[in-house]
Amino acid sequence: MNKQLKANEVLVCDVGFSLADLLAVGVKQGIVRLAQNVTAQRNVVATYKGKGRRPKHGEKVRPLPRRYKGQLIAATPPDSESQFQHQERTITVKAFYDLILSTLIPDTAHATFHIYVFCDPLYQTPLLLASTFRLPPLVAFALYQDRCPVEQVPLAAKHMIGAHRQFVFAVQSCLRLSLLVLLAGNLLTYFAAIFPPLSTGFWNRSPRSTPGRLRRHLAQTSFPNAYPFHPQLRKKASVTDHLPKGFLSHRRLKTF
C-alpha cells in the first residue's frame, strides 16, 4: 500500500485499522482514527525528578482525560489549540506533535506521528485522528470526512444488490465476483443519482436519489426478464436439487 501511494495521495483508515501497523509498514502519508483511551509518549526521554529510577521512556501523552479506579486522570495540555468553522459550527482542535508509540524507547530513528482532537458541539465524544505527517487540522478533518464516498460503491454492491449472500471459493471466481458486484454497485449508484428521486410510498414526502430506492423500484417491474440481454447472458438451467447446500457443500476435510 505504501509503495502505491503517490505524492498527492493520502491513505485514510477508519478505527478498524491500527496506527502501529501504519508505522510498521512505513506509511508516510496516512490518517487513522484512534480510540478514546489512546496514549502516546514524547520522543524525548522524560526529565529525571531526582528520586527513584531514571526514566527511559518519554513523557506520557493522554489526549483525553480518563478515570482509573475512581480517580480522574487529567488530559495532557496540547501543543497547540485552534478553531475553525464547519457547517455553521465551531470546532475546537487540540494538537499533539512528534509522538511515538508508548511501547517504544525514545530514539530519533523512530517514525513520529501527530494526534488531533476535534471537539464538535454536535457530538458528545471528540474525534481523535492520528497522522503520520504534519498537516493543518482543517485538512486532516476534511480528509477523514472524504472517506465516506469511498464506501458508497461497496455498500451499494453488497447490501443493495445482495452480494453479501454470495459465496465462491475458487481464486478466479472470487476475483470475477468482486469485479462484477463493484461494477453493478457503481452503475446502480450512478443511475440513482441522475434519475429523478423515487418515492417508496405515499409517506415518503421528501424522496432522495439513493441506490436502495432504485433497486426497490426495479424489483417491482419486469426488469430484468423483459430486457433484451445478449443470448450468451442467460440463466443456467441446471438441476441442483441433488447437490448439498450451505455448509455441507464445502469441500473441506476435518483434521484430527
- Each residue's pLDDT tens digit, 195-231: 888 887 788 888 888 888 888 888 888 767 777 878 7
CB 144 within 8 A of CB 150: no
Q: Does the structure show a pLDDT above 70 at 39?
A: yes
What proportion of the chain, given as a percentage, has pLDDT over 90? 37
Q: Does the structure show a pLDDT above 60 at 1?
A: no
Pairing state between β 89-100 and 40-45 = antiparallel
201/153 Cα distance (integer angstroms): 25
Question: Residue with C-alpha cell 447472458?
Answer: 233
Q: So what's the pLDDT on residue 199?
A: 83
Query: Apex CA 202: angle with CA 199 and CA 203, to 5°?
Result: 90
> Residue 30 class from Cβ within 10 Å (0-12 exposed, 13-18 middle, 19+ buried)?
buried
Question: pTM of the full predicted structure?
Answer: 0.69
Q: Does the structure show a pLDDT above 70 at 53?
A: yes
Coil, helix or strand at residue 109: coil
When pLDDT is cut at 50, 70 and 90, the band that residue 141 belongs to is: very high
CB 185 within 8 A of CB 154: yes
Nearest to 92 by CA among 63, 133, 56, 60: 63
Question: Residue with C-alpha cell 501497523?
Answer: 21
φ, ψ of residue 227 in degrees (nearest 5): -85, 135
Nearest to 82 by CA among 137, 145, 144, 143: 137
Strand partners, 130: 32, 115
Coil, helix or strand at residue 217: helix
166/65 Cα distance (integer angstroms): 45
Q: So what's the pLDDT on residue 256?
A: 53
CA distances from 234 to 167, 223, 229, 253 (A): 20, 14, 8, 34
CA atoms in the 13 A half-sphere facing the CB of 164: 7
128/141 Cα distance (integer angstroms): 10
What is the grid cell recorded at 192?
Answer: 440513482
What is the grid cell recorded at 4?
Answer: 502505491
